[in-house]
């Protein structure tokens, strides 16, 4: 699915990530932890080709990112659903229109996914907000809309950057339940989070691998990968 081998990445003269190796296998569930500024968001961006490693190899679905042109990367990204931390939406479009944007960008007619859209909005609990504008949504509703947008194209991998960072515990559990359901459907999931309680809840439901970025390196259960 997604593989990093001895990847190093830095900004300017500084190194943020060093010697990172990681395999996201089909159907696996990962949590990515670490202090603020340790590189969690950067690692996620490397995983979907938004950044190119300074050293090492990143492969998306068997293709080396360095050998992929823009069209190749765009096609690969259709297989990756990303839930960004800031949940950016186009405020003049309805929830339904925002959720279906990836379909339109992919060159498909939005009308072709109307029934799937209704099912998807029902699944995330936003059926009654279908025609609402983003400024009318609560924080939790925005996060669920962002998740719906991330999975509208039925991706193989879902990467979520602090999806519960700005919502209460009840909503955090609801979002976790949705992500666990996706994993049980065979999707690969990786969640960047600071919330240890969320990780404990997930461990009670699915097989979870917890990764931590510390001192530029990626660790598993206290041991270097």
According to the model, what pLDDT value does residue 89 have?
95
- SS3 per-residue string spanning 71-129: HHHHHHHCCEEEECCCCCCCCCCCHHHHHCHHHHHCCCCHHHHHHHHHHHHHHCCCHHH
According to the model, what pLDDT value does residue 166 have?
78
According to the model, what pLDDT value does residue 223 have?
42
Name the residue ranges covered by the structural domains of the chain.
Answer: 1-79+155-225, 89-154
Beta bridge partners of 190: 30, 159
CATH no., domain 1-79+155-225: 3.40.50.300
Q: Which residues of the chain have a pLDDT value below 70?
A: 109-112, 221-225
According to the model, what pLDDT value does residue 110 have?
59
According to the model, what pLDDT value does residue 168 have?
86
- DSSP E strands, the chain: 2-11, 14-24, 29-33, 55-60, 63-64, 80-83, 157-161, 188-192, 209-214, 217-220, 223-224
48 vs 190: CA distance, rounded Å: 12
User: Would you state the structure tokens that stand for residue 84, as one six-digit string?
Assistant: 């960004």
């Amino acid at each position: 699915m997604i593989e990093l081998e001895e990847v190093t990445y830095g900004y300017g003269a500084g190194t943020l990530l060093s010697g990172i190796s990681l395999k996201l296998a089909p159907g696996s569930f990962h949590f990515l932890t670490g202090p603020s500024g340790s590189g969690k968001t950067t690692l996620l961006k490397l995983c979907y080709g938004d950044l190119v490693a300074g050293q090492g190899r990143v492969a998306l679905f068997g293709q080396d990112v360095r050998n992929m042109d823009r069209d190749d990367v765009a096609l690969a990204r259709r297989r990756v659903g990303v839930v960004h931390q800031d949940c950016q939406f186009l405020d003049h479009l309805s929830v339904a229109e925002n959720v279906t944007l990836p379909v339109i960008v992919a060159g498909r007619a939005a009308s072709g996914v109307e029934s799937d859209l209704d099912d998807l909005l029902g699944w995330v609990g936003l059926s009654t907000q279908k025609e609402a504008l983003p400024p009318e949504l609560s924080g939790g509703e925005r996060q669920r809309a962002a998740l719906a947008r991330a999975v509208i194209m039925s991706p193989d991998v879902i990467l979520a950057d602090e999806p519960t960072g700005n919502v209460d515990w009840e909503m955090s559990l609801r979002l976790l339940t949705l992500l666990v359901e996706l994993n049980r459907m065979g999707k690969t999931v990786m969640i960047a989070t600071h919330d240890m309680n969320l990780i404990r809840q997930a461990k009670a439901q699915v097989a979870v691998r917890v990764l931590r970025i510390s001192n530029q390196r990626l660790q598993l259960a206290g041991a270097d990968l």
